[in-house]
Amino acid sequence: MSKFKIVAKTFAGLENVLADEIKGIGGESVSVERRAVSFYGDQELMYRANFHLRTALKILKPIAEFDVADRDELYDRSKSVPWSDYLALGKSFAIDSTVQSEMFINSMYASLKVKDAIADHFREKTGKRPSVNTENPDIRINVYLMGGHCILSLDSSGESLHKRGYRIGQGEAPINEVLAAGMILLTGWNGQKDFLDPMCGSGTILIEAAMIAKGIPPGMYRKSFGFELWPDFNEDLFDEICNGEYEKEYSGKILGSDISIKDIAIARANIKNASLTKVIELQVQDFIKLELPFSDGIIITNPPYGERMKPSSIIELYQSIGNTLKNRYAGFEAWIISSSVEGFMSIGLKPSKKIDLFNGALACSYRSFELFQGSHKQAVIIKKTNVVNADINYDKPKRLIIKKL
Ligand SMILES: C[S@@+](CC[C@H](N)C(=O)[O-])C[C@H]1O[C@@H](n2cnc3c(N)ncnc32)[C@H](O)[C@@H]1O
Q: What is the pLDDT of residues 331-381, one digit of tens each?
A: 999 999 999 999 999 999 999 999 999 999 999 999 999 998 665 554 444
DSSP 95: E
Q: What is the pLDDT of residue 390?
A: 30
Mean pLDDT for 139-155 is 97
Minimum CA distance residue for ligand 1 atom 3: 201
Report phi then psi at 116, rounded to 5: -60, -40
CA-only gyration radius of the chain, Å = 25
Mean pLDDT for 194-212 is 98
Who's near 236: CB < 8 A, 6+ residues apart?
none
pLDDT in tens, 256-295: 999 999 999 999 999 999 999 999 999 999 999 999 888 8
Q: Is 302 in the pocket of ligand 1 (CB under 6 A)?
A: yes
| Cα(159)–Cα(57) distance, integer angstroms | 9
Mean pLDDT of the chain: 91
Closest-lying ligand 1 atom to the alpha carbon of residue 204: 8
Nearest residue to 294 via CA among 262, 258, 325, 254? 254
221 CA → ligand 1 middle, Å: 25
Q: Is 202 in the pocket of ligand 1 (CB under 6 A)?
A: yes
Task: Please give the model's pTM, rounded to 2 decimal places.
Answer: 0.90
Q: What is the pLDDT of residue 309?
A: 65
Residue range(s) of every CATH 3.30.2130.30 domain in the chain: 4-155
Residue range(s) of every CATH 3.40.50.150 domain in the chain: 177-217+252-371
Nearest residue to 264 via CA among 290, 299, 228? 290
Minimum CA distance residue for ligand 1 atom 16: 259
Mean pLDDT for 177-205 is 97
326 CA → ligand 1 middle, Å: 19
305 CA → ligand 1 middle, Å: 10
Q: What is the pLDDT of residue 320?
A: 97
Who's near 80: CB < 8 A, 6+ residues apart?
121
Q: What is the pLDDT of residue 311?
A: 63
One CATH from 3.40.1360.10, 3.30.2130.30, 2.40.50.140, 3.40.640.10 for 4-155: 3.30.2130.30
Which of 178, 199, 257 is the best mutation target for the ligand 1 pocket, counting ligand atoms within 8 Å of the beta carbon and taking the most? 199
Q: Is 41 in the pocket of ligand 1 (CB under 6 A)?
A: no
- Quick check: 400 pLDDT over 50? no
Q: Is 201 in the pocket of ligand 1 (CB under 6 A)?
A: yes
Q: What is the topology classification, in CATH, of domain 177-217+252-371? A: Rossmann fold (3.40.50)
Question: In degrees to the nearest 10, what's the CA dihedral of 391, 396, 398, 399?
Answer: -20
- Quick check: 386 pLDDT over 60? no
Crossing angle, helix 204-214 and helix 261-273, to 10 degrees? 30
Which of 206, 263, 359 is the best mutation target for the ligand 1 pocket, counting ligand atoms within 8 Å of the beta carbon and taking the most? 263
Q: What is the pLDDT of residue 354?
A: 98
Asked whether 385 and 43 are in contact (CB, 8 A), the reply is no
| Cα(150)–Cα(310) distance, integer angstroms | 46
pLDDT in tens, 109-119: 999 999 999 99
Q: Is 323 in the pocket of ligand 1 (CB under 6 A)?
A: no
Asked whether 357 and 11 are in contact (CB, 8 A), the reply is yes
The strand pairing partners of 303, in sequence order, are none
- Quick check: 77 pLDDT over 50? yes
Q: Is 226 in the pocket of ligand 1 (CB under 6 A)?
A: no
Who's near 191: CB < 8 A, 6+ residues apart?
212, 213, 214, 250, 252
Crossing angle, helix 177-187 and helix 15-24, to 10 degrees? 80
Indicate the pLDDT class of residue 107, thresholds 50, 70 and 90: confident
Asked whether 241 and 48 are in contact (CB, 8 A), the reply is yes
Q: What is the pLDDT of residue 374?
A: 60
| Cα(166)–Cα(223) distance, integer angstroms | 10
Asked whether 385 and 400 are in contact (CB, 8 A), the reply is no
Asked whether 119 and 81 are in contact (CB, 8 A), the reply is no
Q: Is 301 in the pocket of ligand 1 (CB under 6 A)?
A: no
Indicate the pLDDT class of residue 172, thresholds 50, 70 and 90: confident
- Quick check: 126 pLDDT over 60? yes
Q: Is 171 in the pocket of ligand 1 (CB under 6 A)?
A: yes
Q: Is 199 in the pocket of ligand 1 (CB under 6 A)?
A: yes
Q: What is the pLDDT of residue 363?
A: 97
